Chain A
């Protein structure tokens, strides 16, 4: 860093006595990834199953977080892209014998292509775009449900092939967990890098003040398309793992209800926060498993949780955690 930038950096540190957002994000990364890798593997059994489900939805929530939380592009059809990824991956493995890594890449590409198609709707302004994303999700669900010859329709796809990587067949939950956790760790790290780089700054600017973003020379339409495509590709990657956990694939895993659940995950965790997306996914996956007796009230409880978090924790759990640690630091001084 040159003298001037370094001086400014120091001056700012003196004035805020704070840790930079960059360092804070990597610290949160270390903690979350540490818990992700240690807890399910050490506890095993049912906890490993929970870890698998959390990892899948955490990946999906990260994709939605960069679209909605960072760049302000609200999507009400996110689960549809998980569905596109899931069917692309499974059908390629099952019908064409494509190895899992290639099928995973194809899932991301197919979801990205569908995302790019949906991104064309950005010409619609404001609320119309959001409604159109909901419509897009419904259309994809209808295609998955009714194109019986390809997808098996509502009967779904059974006999999901095991994941094969470099000649090894991964048939245990532990093996599957290692693949998922690796994917999540890698994606999370890449997204931290991206969010602190030029593209991430442009995404945040777009989400905070679109007119000002245009005025500083950001090609808003291009960045909106980019973030929607990227978010959908990540959902496709999450979707590719889902059938391997469920051992079954059905369109009912990709309805508007799942899209809404993903939105609640990022809102509860903290809009704009990558660790928040993972925390939100963990809470919304784990809590219902321990409240199965009240399963019929699940959506009611999610609704209450969403409203309560918006009122009590408008910046989500991650935002509340940050405020708490900032308060402690100031108190210590």
Chain B
């Protein structure tokens, strides 16, 4: 693929004056990882530049450099033609740079007005905060952006996420920020709220702000942005006007390869029942769950967030107690009362919350991998490091883990590589059933494909897989059958032959077809 040709083709027409902010040759490395290498970026007044890239492409690092949290190893940052150094969050603030994050970094227990004016509150003659002026100016700012419905005295925590974004924007307006960074602002918004946000962005554009917009959603990018910059693996691989680039071209730049055939082809060899769950119930989370998982099968669990899928899997894995119901594994009844018992029986669980439940950050890779297998790798309780390294190497290399050494802290790995460590840890226990909860959430496309290919390989070897996923392509691309859950119950079980996304969504939401 030729990205160079594309960048040089960028037409010079429609260039509004000069860029407000320019990054050139910015490089940032962390131990073992090159997060950014010689990247550039320009933001123009009155225009939205979309920053596009897979997870791990370096977008977050760039945002942190722009907001003064990280300092680059090399490169220059120019604001309005003057070279600046952004050594702290305060420096960034002084340069008129403000960021709106996917989870806003405002203060929940302060009022709307306090959040808007934190750090630059209007003062009285005596140097104390002028509360009245602050309130009225907050109301003014909110009204000016069509958000008069927000009460300046309201506690921030009582607002919905969309209104919190509005407060963040109001803050940006109040400090007269000329450069606004929006890091996936629409991730938690409804369609209506997104449209409101876009109208606000249009307003910011008219006021001549330079906006950096980070999103994974192409419809949004084409709706709101004029320019694009594409990052891949920490490098800038293309930039230009969106009007000149098709969605397909940009996707190709992002992944550096064609995106078809993400899901592995496989010929399922489905055998006898492996795990039978009957009438499993929990006082609050799920009720009367019965399903069967067969040998060599990938059973997808689809549902809306809050349908009780993760809670059900926690119960199968022995973490959550059930109130009723039975389970049979490979013909024998099981009732795990702890994860340790479930693992012993042959059921393992790759959790959705990787950082909290999956990996022990602060410990090296090999210790993470051997943790559930310590009984086998040690001799009457005495550690055998050679065995542990051997075990860790066997499974991490099989998963193509990218790490500088097995003694590297697992916390320094990217999300995709951490997930590989979690999967390696479970494979080392030689399980019968492996439950994957949102296995590819927050990991880059390359690692995603590796996880999918590996799942296919596992079932080929006779393992049984339960895959909880909220991603329709993943459910449809990987499952042999799909269980749809709704409000703690099983709404339907489908054979994945000719199954379509619409049916799944309708079943999950309880909408009649």
Asked if A and B are interacting partners, one says: no
Q: A-contacting residues of B (Cβ < 8 Å)?
A: none
